[in-house]
Amino acid sequence: MSSLEIVSGLFLNIDFWSALSGFIGAFLTLLIGLPPKIDPAGHIHLILEQEDEKEKKEGRKYKKISYIGILLIAFSFLLQIVKLLI
């Protein structure tokens, strides 16, 4: 069996894609974290009338990345369910 056949067989394997998407999703979620709804340290923040556009943009970016991570983990579970049904 040549290395090309091994590599092509690996990319057609549903277990490979499931493990890869689960790993990337877990890594993104661990790296970025879930967007907090409350401050975990219990701090109360004073809200002024001005908004920091840079902070809002960065917050949206982190929120998107964390949700992509969760979707990749869900996709890996979906692939495992499809494998069981096939």
What is the pLDDT tens value at each position of the chain, 86 positions in all?
666 666 566 667 888 888 888 899 888 888 877 666 555 566 666 666 677 777 778 878 888 888 888 899 999 988 888 887 87
Dist. CA 27–CA 67, nearest whole Å: 12
On whether residue 22 sits in a domain, the answer given is yes
Give the global pTM.
Answer: 0.65
Question: What pLDDT is recorded for position 41?
Answer: 60
CB 66 within 8 A of CB 33: yes
pLDDT of residue 19: 87
Question: What total of structural domains would you count in the chain?
Answer: 1
Residue 66 lies in a domain: yes
Segments forming the whole domain that contains residue 58: 3-35+52-85
